[in-house]
Structure 1
Amino acid sequence: MSFSLPELHFPQTHIYAQRTWGPEGVIFYGDTNPEDDWFVLGLRDGRPEIPLHNHWAQLTVGAGPRLDDGRWHQLVPALDGCLRREDWLDQQAQTSASVPTSLRSCAVESQPGIFFPPGTGAEFSLEDIPWPHVEPWAFSLDLGLQLAAGSGHLLALGTPENPFWLSLHLQDQKVMLSSVSGPGLALPLILGVTLQLKLTVSRVVLSQGTKKEILALPPVGPAPLLNLWAQTQGRLFLGALPVEASSASFCLDGLWAQGQRLDMDRSPGNGTDTTIKSPPKNLL
C-alpha cells in the first residue's frame, strides 16, 4: 500500500541549530486555516514528532534520535531551547521585547533549567509535595536561581483566593520576603547561589550563602501557614500569581521542598494537582 502527499514548501526556511533538555512539548505550530490546514513540530519522549492535518491527509510521523541531551543539533529543532542563526520565511526571528536582553542570549555552555517568562506561573498543591516536619514544626524551600530580572513574585504560599500568606517578591535585584503577620524584609539577590527559605512556628529565615535575614513571627503568626496544609486549597505558587501583572522573568535549575526536588513537568493528566498557566519553558 502506498500513498503520496502534496509537497510542503517553505521558501528560505532554515533553523540551523538548537538545544534543549526538555523531553516533551511543542516546538513550532503553523497553519493557513486552524480548522482545516495545520501542522505541529514537537518532541515526544525526546524524539521529533510531526502531526499533520489538511484536505489530503491526517497523520502523525515520529522518528529520529533523542534530542533532549542539552547539545546543539543541526536542522532538527528541540523543545523550548535556544536558536542560533535562526531564519524563518526569509525574515530574521524577533525575540519578545518583554524578555530582558540578559535572558535572551544562549551561552555556549549550559545546564538544565526551567525558564519563566514575564507573567508565567505554576501552582503545586501542598498535598502533593513533601509535608513539614511535625516535631518541631519546620518546612524548607530551596530555589536554584540562574537568571532573574524585572519585578514580580518568585514564590508564594497561600490559596487561590488568598495567595499572599507568605511570599518572595523580586524587585531591583533584591528578594523581598513578606507575610500576613506583619512587615517584611529584603535580601540582595546572588545569582547562581541557592536561595533558602526555612519556616518554623516562631520565625522565617531567608538566606543565600553567608547572607541571612530573619523574620520573627508573633505568637499567633504561623497559624495561617500551619492551616494551609490542613485544607485542600493550600498551594505553592511559583512565578506570577493569578491576580498579578508581573514583569519578573527568571530561570531555575531546580526547586526543592523539604530537600526533595519538585518535578516541573508534572500535569493534572499525570495524576497530580500541579496546574501551569502560560507554561514555563524547559530552557537549555
Structure 2
Amino acid sequence: MRLFETIFFVAMITRVPGNAVEELDPYPQFLDPKQAINLAQDWGHGYPAGTVHIDLLNITSSSSSFEVRTFDPEGVLLFGDSRGGHDWFLLGLRGGRPEIHIHNQMAKVSVSGGPTVNDGEWHKIVVRSQEHRIVLEVDDQESLRIGHVSEGVTSSLDTTMRIAVGGILTNSSELMEPLHIPLDACVRNWVFLSVTPKWLLDPIFLPHSKRCFASHRKGSYFPGSGNVAYRTSDLPTASAQTGEPWTLSLQMDLHLESLSFSLLSVSHPETGTILLLRGQDKNLFVELGNDTVVTQALADVGGSDGYKFHLSITPKSVTLQCGNEKEIADISEGHYSALKHSWTDKEGIVYIGGAPTSQEESPGHFRGCLENIRIQGRLMDLDSAWYKSNSVWSHSCPPKLLPITRPSS
C-alpha cells in the first residue's frame, strides 16, 4: 500500500441535514464537547487543536471522514505527516473552497476547487485514494481529479503518521501557497483511516476548552475576556480622498451581553490611550484623552437585534451614531492632532473588545457579538489582526445572546 494513497485523497462533500444539539448552557448553547471539536483553539502560532498518531501498517481502511461547519473562508482543516515530517499533506479552505497541498520527495502539489462550503451548514467530507489519483467530489459531483506520485509505506522504516486538526506540524513557510492557519470551524463524527481518535472521545486530551455553538450565525463573538489588536500601519491611513483632511471612520454591528465594557480604543507608545469608546449602564461614551466628548443612551433592543454603530471624527467634530440616534460634538484642535498623530505615525494600535490595560478577566472587556467591522471603510477579518486572544471566535456567534436590561434607578 502506498503511503500517500492510504492517507486520504478523495474528498466527497455533502450537506448534512439537521443539527444535533445538547443544551448545556442557556447562553450560549453548546454542542457536547465529546462529540464536536472547535478547531479555533490557537491563533498566531498554527498549533493544532489536537493530534493523533497512526501506524500505517495496522490500518484497515484507506478512507477518512468528518463533518465540518464554518463561516470562515480560510484556514487549515487537517494536516498529516510521516517520515519524520519530510512527507506531508494539508487539507484546508481558501475562499471557502477546499484546497489540498501535497509535499513529498517525489512531488509538490497545491490544488483547490469545488464549491464553497463556508455557508454555516454541516458538510460531510470523505477522503480516500483511488490508485494514483486524488479525486475531489462535492455534493456527489466530481469537481477535481489530481494525479500524484508517492513511495510505498514499506520503503520507509518509519510507518507512523501524525494527523493534526486545526493546525500544522511544519513551518508555515513550507506551504506551497501562503495560507491563514487558524480556522473558526467545528468538526464532528471524525474517523481517520478506520481510527476514531482518543481526543474525540475524551475532551481532556485537548489543550484548550473553546467549544462549538449548538447553532451559530456570522459575526465575531467576544466572551467577556480577551481582545483583538490591529496596528495602524496595517490599516488605511484615511477614509477621505487624497488631499482632504484626515478623518477617522469606525463602523460595526453591535450585539451586547454586558452593561459595562470597553469596545474600542486607539493607543500610541508616546501618548497612551488617546481614543476610548466604552459602555456603561447602556450608555456609550466617546473619550479623547481624559475628556468625555460624546455620550449617547442606547435604546432597549434584544441582544440578537443589536445596534448599527458608526463613529466619525473630522477636524471639526465627533459624530456617534447608534441605530437612528445621532450625537455630534465639537473636537478641540489638540485632541484631533493627537489622534491623527497616533494613527498616521504608524505606531498606533487599535484595540477591539477590551482596553490594553485591562486584565484578561476584567469585567471591562466586551461581551457579545460584533459584525461587519469596518475601519476606515475596510471590512476587517479578525484572523488577519496583529493580535487576537484565543478566547475570541473570529467568524461565529451564537444566534441568541444573553438579554440585558437597564439598571433600575
Bucket of the pairwise TM-score, normalised by the shorter protein: 0.5 to 0.7
Look up the match of 1:264.
381
Structure 1 residue 155 and structure 2 residue 264: aligned? yes
- 207-216 vs 40-49, which moves further: 40-49
- 242-251 vs 201-210, which moves further: 242-251
Equivalent position SS for 2:338: helix
Structure 1 residue 198 and structure 2 residue 312: aligned? yes
Look up the match of 2:229.
122
Look up the match of 1:3.
2
Partner residue of 1:281 out of 394, 397, 407: 394
Q: Give TM-score, length-normalised by structure 1.
A: 0.65
| Number of residue pairs aligned between Structure 1 and Structure 2 | 267
Q: Is the 8 A contact 2:231 2:349 kept in 1?
A: yes
User: Equivalents in 1 of 2:234, 2:110: separation in Å?
Assistant: 38
Look up the match of 2:219.
113
C-alpha spacing 1:240/1:51, structure 2 compared with 1 (3 Å): farther
User: 1:132 Cα shift?
Assistant: 5.4
Look up the match of 2:273.
164
User: 1:23 Cα shift?
Assistant: 2.1
Q: Is the 8 A contact 1:16 1:74 kept in 2?
A: yes
Provide the alpha-carbon RMSD of the alignment. Answer: 4.8
C-alpha spacing 1:63/1:130, structure 2 compared with 1 (3 Å): closer
Structure 1 residue 46 and structure 2 residue 96: aligned? yes
Equivalent position SS for 1:232: coil
User: 1:224 Cα shift?
Assistant: 1.0
Q: Is the 8 A contact 1:18 1:83 kept in 2?
A: yes
Look up the match of 1:187.
297
Equivalent position SS for 1:164: strand
Equivalent position SS for 2:339: helix
Q: Counterparts in 2 of 1:140-151, with a 5 A limit?
A: 140-146=249-255, 149=258
Q: Give TM-score, length-normalised by structure 2.
A: 0.48
User: 1:208 Cα shift?
Assistant: 0.9
Structure 1 residue 209 and structure 2 residue 352: aligned? no
User: 1:169 Cα shift?
Assistant: 2.3
Structure 1 residue 81 and structure 2 residue 132: aligned? no
C-alpha spacing 1:179/1:283, structure 2 compared with 1 (3 Å): same
User: Equivalents in 1 of 2:75, 2:265: separation in Å?
Assistant: 27
Structure 1 residue 237 and structure 2 residue 343: aligned? no
Look up the match of 1:23.
73
Deviations 1:171-214 (A, max 9, x none): 55543322204135353275533201121334422221222334
Look up the match of 2:160.
none
User: Equivalents in 1 of 2:282, 2:227: separation in Å?
Assistant: 19
User: Equivalents in 2 of 1:238, 1:61: separation in Å?
Assistant: 35
User: Equivalents in 2 of 1:168, 1:28: separation in Å?
Assistant: 39
User: Equivalents in 2 of 1:187, 1:76: separation in Å?
Assistant: 48
Equivalent position SS for 1:122: strand
Look up the match of 2:180.
none
The residue type paired with residue 369 of structure 2 is C
Equivalent position SS for 1:169: strand
User: 1:123 Cα shift?
Assistant: 0.5
Look up the match of 1:270.
none
User: 1:119 Cα shift?
Assistant: 0.7
User: 1:121 Cα shift?
Assistant: 0.5
Equivalent position SS for 1:228: helix
Q: Is the 8 A contact 1:187 1:213 kept in 2?
A: no
C-alpha spacing 1:216/1:98, structure 2 compared with 1 (3 Å): farther
Look up the match of 1:252.
370
User: Equivalents in 2 of 1:85, 1:6: separation in Å?
Assistant: 22
User: Equivalents in 1 of 2:280, 2:100: separation in Å?
Assistant: 41
User: 1:147 Cα shift?
Assistant: 5.7
Percent of aligned positions with the same letter in both sequences? 26
User: 1:29 Cα shift?
Assistant: 7.2
Deviations 1:9-37 (A, max 9, x none): 79xx98545132x2211346799xx9899
Q: Is the 8 A contact 1:129 1:262 kept in 2?
A: no
Consecutive unaligned residues in structure 1, runs of 5 or more: 268-273
User: 1:66 Cα shift?
Assistant: 4.0
User: 1:166 Cα shift?
Assistant: 0.7
Deviations 1:36-93 (A, max 9, x none): 999875324434457799xxxx998866634444142333399413568999856486
C-alpha spacing 1:202/1:4, structure 2 compared with 1 (3 Å): closer
